[in-house]
Structure 1
Amino acid sequence: MTSTRERQRAAAKARLEKEMRERAEQARRRRRTRNLVAGGAVLLLVVAGGVWAIVALNDDSGKKNTAANAGTAQCTWTPLPAQAKTPQIKDVGVPPTSVPKTGTDVMTIDTGLGPIKAKVDRAATPCTAASFEYLASKNFWNNTKCHRLVTQGIQVLQCGDPSATGKGYRQTDGQGGPGYQYAEENLPTDKRPAYPAGVIAMAKTQAPNSTGSQFFIVYGDSQLDPSYTVLGTITQGMDLVQQVAKAGDDGAFAAQAGGGHPKKEVLIKSITMAQS
């Protein structure tokens, strides 16, 4: 038979082994919990990184699209109806509908009297500038004449009719244009005078959205209604326009719109647009 002391030692040993087993189990549980937490954290970081990458890529793409859209304008070119396409209309198609609206261009009007240059801000007149660039690429104004000079009331030299060609003037000079029209831009509604000397602006009919290819150079402050697109500012050649104005006009349009054909002929050899 076992003694009481032996039984006590056996019980103590059993308790110690049980305690050691429990501690080992607790240690294993703690390690498992730590591993699960660590794994979850890694997974969370991976997921978060993926989400961030997607958001960043989308954001970058959005910024690029926004930047691209910020640099372009959408233009509407309205073709003339068939009955309006008279012999004075020079149909060379239409410009692109999506055009740049940043930067500045230098427009050069090469005339028989010398060059006339103007600064054109594409941000202010993207569609008008695009139309000029397109028509210039088609040699639209080559060998045409400025057909109208006004010296009373308003002081302008008007050009841009593709049918104003030949040795003399015709009754139809001033009725020509491209095969499309478009809306007015950059109207000087808050300027006084609206059209000061040195401005180059677009001619049109009394109807809205009727801008075409004809333009006028203002050589003296003019109190015109602010419904004509301001294309740009003359930077060279105003002295040539002043010479033409000084020579006067023949009064051919006095009974209608005023003025007449300039007595000093202005032959446009070509018009070019170039980025400055």
Structure 2
Amino acid sequence: MASSRDRQRKLARAKLDRQMARRAAAVKRRRQVRAGVGTALILVLIVAGSAWALGAFDSEPTDNSAADEVCLWTPQNTAGNSNLKEVGEPATTGLPTTGTRPMTVTTNQGAPISVELDLATAPCAAASIAHLASQSFYDNTKCHEITAEGAVRCGDPTGTGLGGPAYSFYSENVPTGAEPSPEASPAPDAAPTYPKGTVAMISNPPGANGSQFLIFFKDFTTAEPTYPIIGRVTSGLDVVEKIGALPTVDNGSGEKVKPENDDVVIQSLTVGEPVLDPASPAEPTPTGTPSPTASTEASPNAG
């Protein structure tokens, strides 16, 4: 019996020795792993510190170029809506945001009307008009309204005030309203909200711009402006004034704003290449825009 117990003790001892050996090996492996990780971490910190010291993590100055997304075009539902015309959408990047862009409106009322579109304050309106011009969107369309504010309204192929492209975009450059005087009229020396020669978008509802625009033939002042200014007339203002002097009749809605005898027709609308300010850095030629002779215009989905 003693011999049997001795064998059992020996076997138990041997088993315990094997367990202790395995535990010792496991502890050794853990120590080796920890040591390796620590060494690697130290190396990473050394490399990162060296890179930081050499300026590897210094951020480059942001290039405020047209490569960034500039404009957002909101698709409009054209199902069952014959007022909206599908002509694609302008680009969202690669758009010029400094300088000006020439626009020429040729009508059946005399010499061409030259406009300077402001790319700094209304880059999306300029991009939209340029795109629409490249699609001949404005060609052979009517300026269907002479507004009570003193502007000629153009850019709706349907001639109803409801037409435009199958996209819209937000207003960019709505002026500050005139401060009302105690007599509820602007001060005599106050600058008009929309000086004569101003070109502005018009939409229905306000803010959902598309293709329609106004050319003011007289000063207009208001405390609640809604028309975003996109440019100004540089020549041909006498033609705009001539159109503004045409007699008007009821357009069917109770307003006498429709030219009575003569249809005012845009025979062509073109937009030229961007003209940079002398002090501005050169910008890449925008993508998806027309050549200097391409037709152009902007049209709101509802005006």
Q: Is the pair's TM-score, using the shorter chain for normalization, greater than 0.5?
A: yes
Higher helix share: 1
Q: Between the two proteins, what is the percent identity of the paired residues?
A: 35
Q: Is the 1:254–1:260 Cα contact (8 Å) retained in structure 2?
A: no
Q: Size of the alignment, in residue pairs?
A: 212
1:115 aligns with 2:84: no
Kindly report which structure 2 residues correspond to 1:226-241, keeping only aligned pairs within 5 A, or say none.
Answer: 226-241=225-240
After the TM superposition, list the runs of 4 or more consecutive aligned residues in structure 1 that deviate by more than 6 angstroms.
Answer: 47-50
The Cα shift of 1:266 comes to 2.2
Which residue type is aligned with residue 126 of structure 2?
A
SS at match of 1:255: coil
Q: Which amino acid aligns with 1:52?
A: L
Residues 95 and 49 of structure 1: CA distance in aligned 2, closer, same or farther (over 3 Å): closer
Quick check: 1:203–1:228 contact (8 Å CA) kept in 2? yes
Superposition RMSD in Å: 2.6
- Cα distance in 2 between the residues matched to 1:52 and 1:250: 75
1:265 Cα deviation from its structure 2 partner: 2.9
Counterpart residue number, 2:258: 260
- What is aligned with 2:76? 80
Indicate how the Cα distance of structure 1 residues 114 and 266 shifts in structure 2: closer, same or farther if over 3 A, else same.
Answer: farther
Equivalents in 2 of 1:244, 1:255: separation in Å? 21
Cα distance between partner residues in 1 of 2:156 and 2:240: 18
Q: Which has the higher contact order (CA 8 A, sep 6+)?
A: 2
Q: Larger Cα Rg: Structure 1 or Structure 2? A: 1
CA distance in 2, matches of 1:188, 1:157: 19
Structure 1 residue aligned with 2:41:
none
Asked whether the equivalents of residues 72 and 100 of structure 1 are also in contact (C-alpha less than 8 Å), the reply is no
2-side partners of 1:101 and 1:92: how far apart? 23
TM superposition shift of 1:71: 7.2
* CA spacing shift, 1:50–1:183, aligned 2, 3 Å: closer
Partners of 1:244 and 1:264 within 8 A in 2: no
**Contact conserved, 1:244 with 1:265, CA < 8 A, in 2?**
no
Q: CA deviation at 1:251?
A: 2.9
Residue of structure 2 equivalent to 1:272: 270
Listed as ranges, the gaps of 5+ residues in structure 1 are: 1-46, 165-172
Name the aligned partner's letter for residue 181 of structure 1.
S
Map 1:189-208; keep pairs closer than 5 Å: 189=176, 192-205=191-204, 207-208=205-206
Q: Secondary structure at the match of 1:132?
A: helix
CA contact (8 A) 2:78 2:166 kept: no
1:174 matched to 2:161? The reply is yes
TM-score (norm 2): 0.63
Q: Please, which runs of 5 or more residues in structure 2 have no aligned partner?
A: 1-48, 179-190, 276-303
Residue type of the alignment partner of 1:246 = A
1:231 partner SS: strand
